[in-house]
Structure 1
C-alpha cells in the first residue's frame, strides 16, 4: 500500500479580484409602511390602532392620524422590508389601508 499525501495544494495568497467589482457592503435602503386615508375609519379608531399596534403615545398617534387625514397618507414605520410587510398585513387586519414602499419614493 502506498503512502497518502496530506499536503495541501498551493493556492497562493494573492486573490485575483476583478477591479470592477465593488466589495464594500451595499447600503441597505430602508422601507416604509404607509397608511392611506380612507372614507371608512374614524380618526379616533386610527389613533387607537396606532397606539395599540405600534405602542405610540397618544400625541404621536394623533400626529400620524392627522397626517393621514390632512395629507392623505402618513409613514408610520421604517425599517427592513420584511418587518414593514408584516406591519402592513397587521394594519390590514385592523381594516386600515396600508402599503409598503422603499424609503425616498
Structure 2
C-alpha cells in the first residue's frame, strides 16, 4: 500500500494455554495490517469479495489500514476470527487475531 514508515510490530496472541471458554467468547478481532506490497484497490477488493462489504465500507477499512497502519475487519468468536485471518493470508494480506482490548 505504498511507501510508509516502518510499523511497530503488532500484538500477536501466541498463548498456548488457552482457556476452552475462549472458543465461545465473542471478544476476538481479526486485524489487517498495512504492508508495502498490496495496492489500495486490491485491499478494497478483498474486503468487498471476502467480507461482502459495500464499496464505501471496504474503502473506509482500507483507508484505516493505509493511514493508521491497521484496521479491525471483524469481531466475534476466536475460531471464526482465525478463519478470517487465514483467509486474509490466502489473499496475500497480513492479518492477526487478538482479544478485544479492554475499554
Instruction: Give TM class, smaller chain.
Output: 0.7 to 0.9
CA distance in 2, matches of 1:104, 1:74: 14
CA distance in 2, matches of 1:59, 1:67: 12
CA distance in 2, matches of 1:53, 1:28: 23
Name segments (4+ residues, structure 1) moved above 6 Å. Answer: none
> Which structure 2 residues correspond to residues 13-92 of structure 1 after superposition, within 5 A?
28=25, 30-92=27-89
Contact 1:29 1:102 in 2 (8 A): no
CA distance in 2, matches of 1:77, 1:28: 14
Q: Does 1:97 align with 2:81?
A: no
CA distance in 2, matches of 1:46, 1:38: 10
Unpaired stretches in structure 1, ≥5 consecutive residues? 1-26
Contact 2:25 2:78 in 1 (8 A): no
* TM-score, normalisation: structure 1: 0.72
Q: Which structure carries more helix by proportion?
A: 2
* TM-score, normalisation: structure 2: 0.74
Structure showing greater Rg: 1
CA distance in 2, matches of 1:77, 1:29: 11
CA distance in 2, matches of 1:41, 1:84: 21
Unpaired stretches in structure 2, ≥5 consecutive residues? 1-23
CA RMSD of aligned residues (A): 1.4
CA distance in 2, matches of 1:73, 1:84: 16
Q: Counterpart of 2:36 in 1: which secondary structure?
A: coil
Q: Counterpart of 2:80 in 1: which secondary structure?
A: helix
